[in-house]
Amino acid sequence: MSFPQVESRSARRTLTIATRILLALKLDGPLLIGLAMVACYGLIVLYSASGQNSDMILRTLLRMGLGAAAMVAVAQLRPNTLRNAAPWLYAGGVLLLLVVDASGYIGKGAQRWLDLGFIRFQPSEIMKIAVPMLVAWYLQERPLPLGLGTLAVTAAIILVPVGLTAIQPDLGTALLILIGGALVVLMAGVPLLVLAALALVGMSSAWFGWTLLHDYQRQRVFTFIDPQNDPLGAGYHIIQSQIAIGSGGVFGKGWMNGSQSQLEYLPERHTDFIFAVIGEEFGLLGMLVLVMLYLFVVGRALYLATQMQDTFARLLGSSLALTFFVYVFINTGMVCGLLPVVGVPLPLVSYGGTSMVTLLAGFGILMALYSHRKLVGS
């Protein structure tokens, strides 16, 4: 009878040790656990979705390691450092975007990458963090609710990198940058009237943007509206992905047993459409489990944001948390046919890209802001 007591005591001791380590590393335990669970789930799915490609798993593990390192590193930064770095990071990012756009113009066609030799690197990813940072930095001193002049400056801050990314053309990332920035503004508080006006401007600019879209991008929107219209062309992605999800049923066909994904009917199965693989192989339950994990991460992140005491931290923290959810929603919504197909990966699960590092770095910022809050407060 004494055995369990010994066990629980030792367990408590390990727990306290872990807490101390986390504390020392400025990390948030629950958030870390949530992220780790999503990542592990992602690895399991990826192994199946990649067709048992252990090379891909290895590379993903590498990226996760890189991301985790970035997260831990960023978490050590003081909020002040982050605050001061915001303009520089933004400026650097815009510069890199210009370089990429220029080389893309020379090389003709889509150009999103900057090849540093050892690693290929997507400057637009930086903007996913740099834009909210700068907006939060800019808005922290402004009295709320925001005035029109302030909004105009904010809009400029957001739209410059969005435009530069959109012309690459990388509509998905541009959209995400836009949303990341917009969320900061919304969390800062916008009068209803201004919000309505913005909506109007947004819609008219959407119409204007439509005229600027590439054919394939327009086709994506058409296809979203009626996928059966062109089943083997642009509608193929959506149809096949819905077949995959729908045929999975409640419990799924089993790991590595999804015929849609294993027989390559499902396009982009290990990248943008990996959520459909989950739906096919693990069913409704498997998808809901992942959605719950995501909600837990977002919830925890939002909770951390509410615990922060200065405006910069709160705005940045909450917008990062919500942006993460928006990523999740855009991808899952696209895969199950709620939203048009835009190239947005499923955070922490889809294979490839720089997004793993950026996302984890973003959570590093959240943790940094949270763990250093007392320093600010005292």
Partner 1 sequence: MAGPVSIKNPQREQHAFQRRIVLAVSLVAVAAVVLAGRLFLLQVLRHDYYLQLSQGNRARLEPIPANRGLILDRNGKVLAENQAAYQLELIREQVPDLATTLRGLAQLQLIPADEVDDIRRLVRARRGFEAVPIRLRMSEEEIARFAVHRHQFPGVDIRTRLTRFYPNGDLAVHALGYVAAIGEADLPRIDRSAYAGTTLIGKLGVESAREKELHGTNGFREVLVNAQGRSVQAQGGLAPDLRSRAPKAGADLILSLDLVAQQAAEQALRGRRGVVVALDPANGDVLVLASQPGFDPGLFGRGLTRAEYRNLETDIDRPLFNRALRGTYPPGSTVKPVIALAGLHNGTVSPESSRFCSGEYYLPGSSKPFREGRSGRHGAVNLEDAIAVSCDVYFYGLANQLGVDNIAEFLAPFGYGKPTGIDIAGEQSGILPSREWKKKRFKRRQDQVWFPGETVNFGIGQGYMTVTPMQQAHMVATVASRGRSFKPRLVTGMRNAETGQATVVAPQALPTVEGIPEADWNHVFNGMMGTMTRGTGRGVGNGAAYSIAGKTGTAQVFSVGANEKYVEKNVSERLRDHSWFIAFAPVEKPRIALVVLVENGGFGASAAGPIARKVLDAYLLPQLVAAAPAVTAAPQAKP
Which among 1-9, 84-92, 150-158, 328-336 is the span making contact with partner 1, rule CB under 8 A?
A: 328-336
- Is the Cβ–Cβ distance between 135 and 157 less than 8 Å? yes
Pure H helices in 108-191: 123-139, 148-166, 171-188
Residue 76 host element (H or E): none
Which among 11-19, 93-101, 154-162, 288-296 is the span making contact with partner 1, rule CB under 8 A?
A: 288-296
Task: Give the binding-site size for partner 1 (rule: CB under 8 A).
Answer: 59
Cβ nearer to partner 1, comparing 178 with 245: 245
Residue 87 and residue 374: Cα distance in Å, rounded? Answer: 25
* Least distance from partner 1 to the Cβ atom of residue 184, Å: 11
Q: From residue 109 to residue 128, what is the string marking binding to partner 1 with x (rule CB under 8 A)?
A: --------------------
User: Comparing C-alpha atoms, which of 370, 290, 287 is closest to residue 82?
Assistant: 370
Residue 8's DSSP bridge partners are none
19 binds partner 1 (CB under 8 A): no
Q: Provide the 10 A C-beta neighbour count for residue 197.
A: 14
Amino acid at 109: G
322 binds partner 1 (CB under 8 A): yes
Residue tagged 């690459």 (tokens): 168
Q: From residue 298 to residue 317, what is the string marking binding to partner 1 with x (rule CB under 8 A)?
A: xx--x--xx--xxx--x---
Q: From residue 230 to residue 269, what is the string marking binding to partner 1 with x (rule CB under 8 A)?
A: ----------x-xxxxxxxxx---xxxxxxx-xxxx----
* Least distance from partner 1 to the Cβ atom of residue 326, Å: 9
296 binds partner 1 (CB under 8 A): no
Structure tokens belonging to residue 83: 């605050």
Q: Is 121 helix (H, G, I), strand (E, B) or coil?
A: strand
Structure tokens belonging to residue 214: 């590439």
Residue 71 and residue 124: Cα distance in Å, rounded? Answer: 19
Phi-psi region of 189 (alpha: psi -120 to 50; beta: other; left: phi over 0): left
* Least distance from partner 1 to the Cβ atom of residue 258, Å: 7
- Answer for which of 198, 296, 329, 340 binds partner 1 (CB under 8 A) is 329
Cβ nearer to partner 1, comparing 82 with 166: 82
357 binds partner 1 (CB under 8 A): no
Q: From residue 31 to residue 50, what is the string marking binding to partner 1 with x (rule CB under 8 A)?
A: -----------------x--
How far is residue 186 from each of residues 198, 252, 256, 280, 308, measured CA to CA in Å?
11, 39, 42, 36, 17
- Answer for which of 5, 141, 207, 211 binds partner 1 (CB under 8 A) is 141
- Is the Cβ–Cβ distance between 250 and 283 less than 8 Å? yes
291 binds partner 1 (CB under 8 A): yes
How far is residue 287 from each of residues 82, 194, 247, measured CA to CA in Å?
36, 38, 13
Residue 345 and residue 55: Cα distance in Å, rounded? Answer: 20
Cβ nearer to partner 1, comparing 99 with 292: 292
Cβ nearer to partner 1, comparing 164 with 176: 176
Cβ nearer to partner 1, comparing 73 with 288: 288
Residue tagged 């969320």 (tokens): 183
Cβ nearer to partner 1, comparing 156 with 250: 250
Cβ nearer to partner 1, comparing 48 with 111: 48
Cβ nearer to partner 1, comparing 86 with 185: 185
Cis upstream peptide for 169 (omega within 30°): yes
Name the site residues for partner 1 (rule: CB under 8 A). Answer: 48, 51-52, 141, 143-144, 186-187, 189, 240, 242-250, 254-260, 262-265, 279-280, 283-284, 287-288, 291, 295, 298-299, 302, 305-306, 309-311, 314, 318, 322, 325, 329, 332-333, 336-338, 376-378
